[in-house]
Amino acid sequence: MDVPMVRTRITQLEDLSDAVNQAGLTAFQLSHDPPSGTLVHAAHQGVTLSSGRFESRVQIRGALSEEHLSIAVGLRIPPRNRLLLRDIDSGIVTVFRPGDEHEAFHDVNSLYAVITLSEETLQREVERFGMRLCPNAFRRTGIHSQPLASGHLTKISALLARVHQGDARLDPGRLANIAAAFIGHFAQLPAPVTLQPLRKRERIVELTRSHIDQNLDQRLDMEDLACRAGVSRRTLTRSFEEALGESPRRYIARMRLHRIRSDLLTLESQEATIADVSNQWGIGELGRMSARYRSLFGELPSQTRQRASH
């Protein structure tokens, strides 16, 4: 008997709000190529599995669950992938406490899996498989110091790749084995879960991004941003390029285009002109904005608004 499973083709940015089942995540494009790939969701006896396979570069942000624990594993991680602003490799295992912020940068050919479950279900699974977890293993959000065992990584990656292709399904035994591998990783010794401090340049980016994201509708001056971070403009630019792969100016422009797109997709903004929406987010030249918008999203602002009205 198969477990209830939904396989969804990613065709637009909004599909990624469910990159983890019902998480309501926020997604951003990192390249002109439209979001593509597949999402798989399955659930059985209180354990929910979410898996994503990406064929484009995307950034995803938000809490994986407001109420439950999440264990995320990067099954196939190409270069340039980052989690919580840290470089990551295949096999990385991360715990997210309920409500804690998650942010990931996924490149082409990325494959991940997340299991989400309540603490009561976690305890049930621990007892079911006769595990002894390390003390406080799930008490805080953090990255495990060791990758998932290579045997588990190979088998789970191969299985879920086939599921994403539509060549395999999940039965209760397979889902239970995935959950057991993820949870059982924390029964290994030593099993510290830590979130290593951000390096200096990552701290600069985190501090500066926070100010940028809260003030995208205001004038943002590079000299002022560098001053706020206590560094030179050159160091600020290098920090962004190292951590995010783009300069502060390009980050600001991309985030503003995403805000414009979000507004154009809401019914509340239908009475405002596209120029009004653009001006609200600090872009005054409508022609240039439209060209940049089309370059990023593959359609004109007017086409986005037209889709929202249907």
- Give me the CATH number covering residue 281: 1.10.10.60
Same domain, 76 and 161: yes
Same domain, 143 and 184: yes
Q: CA-to-CA distance for 103 and 209, rounded, in angstroms? A: 13
Same domain, 153 and 256: no
**Confidence at residue 309, expressed as pLDDT on a 0 to 100 scale:** 75
| Domain finish residue from 194, 220, 236 | 194
**Confidence at residue 281, expressed as pLDDT on a 0 to 100 scale:** 95
Extended beta strands in 77-178, E state: 82-83, 86-87, 93-96, 101-106, 110-117, 142-144
**Confidence at residue 272, expressed as pLDDT on a 0 to 100 scale:** 86
**Confidence at residue 35, expressed as pLDDT on a 0 to 100 scale:** 92
* Token pair in block for residue 87: 């470089």
Same domain, 21 and 75: yes
Q: What is the pTM of this model?
A: 0.87
**Domains in the chain: how many in total?**
2
Same domain, 189 and 215: no
- At 54, give phi and psi (nearest 5°): -110, 140
Same domain, 13 and 132: yes
| Domain finish residue from 154, 173, 194 | 194
Q: CA-to-CA distance for 78 and 57, rounded, in angstroms? A: 11
- Give me the CATH number covering residue 142: 2.60.120.10
User: In sequence order, what are the beta bridge partners of 144?
Assistant: 193
Q: CA-to-CA distance for 49 and 31, rounded, in angstroms? A: 28
Same domain, 173 and 28: yes
The amino acid sitting at 175 is: L
Same domain, 88 and 70: yes
**What is the maximum alpha-carbon separation in the chain?**
63
- The range of the structural domain enclosing residue 248 comes to 200-309
**Confidence at residue 151, expressed as pLDDT on a 0 to 100 scale:** 95
| Pairing of the two strands 37-44 and 47-54 | antiparallel
Exposure on the CB side of residue 173, measured as CA atoms within 13 A: 1
**Confidence at residue 267, expressed as pLDDT on a 0 to 100 scale:** 61
**Confidence at residue 271, expressed as pLDDT on a 0 to 100 scale:** 77
| Domain finish residue from 160, 194, 228 | 194
| CB neighbour list of residue 221: distance below 8 Å, 6 or more residues apart | none
**Confidence at residue 195, expressed as pLDDT on a 0 to 100 scale:** 62
**Confidence at residue 210, expressed as pLDDT on a 0 to 100 scale:** 93
| Pairing of the two strands 142-144 and 110-117 | unpaired
The answer to whether the beta carbons of residues 153 and 113 sit under 8 Å apart is no
The answer to whether the beta carbons of residues 99 and 64 sit under 8 Å apart is no
Same domain, 204 and 160: no
User: In sequence order, what are the beta bridge partners of 111?
Assistant: 53, 76
User: Per-residue confidence of the chain (310 residues) as pLDDT tens digits?
Assistant: 688 999 999 999 999 999 999 999 999 999 888 899 999 999 999 999 999 999 999 999 999 999 999 999 999 999 889 999 999 999 999 999 999 999 999 999 999 999 999 999 999 999 888 888 877 889 999 999 899 999 999 999 999 999 999 999 999 999 999 999 999 999 865 455 666 677 888 999 999 999 999 999 999 999 999 999 999 999 999 999 988 989 999 999 999 999 999 999 886 667 789 999 999 999 988 999 999 999 999 899 999 988 877 6
Q: CA-to-CA distance for 305 and 284, rounded, in angstroms? A: 19
| CB neighbour list of residue 197: distance below 8 Å, 6 or more residues apart | none
Same domain, 215 and 296: yes
**Confidence at residue 6, expressed as pLDDT on a 0 to 100 scale:** 95
User: In sequence order, what are the beta bridge partners of 82?
Assistant: 87, 105
Same domain, 157 and 252: no
Same domain, 253 and 273: yes
The answer to whether the beta carbons of residues 122 and 138 sit under 8 Å apart is yes
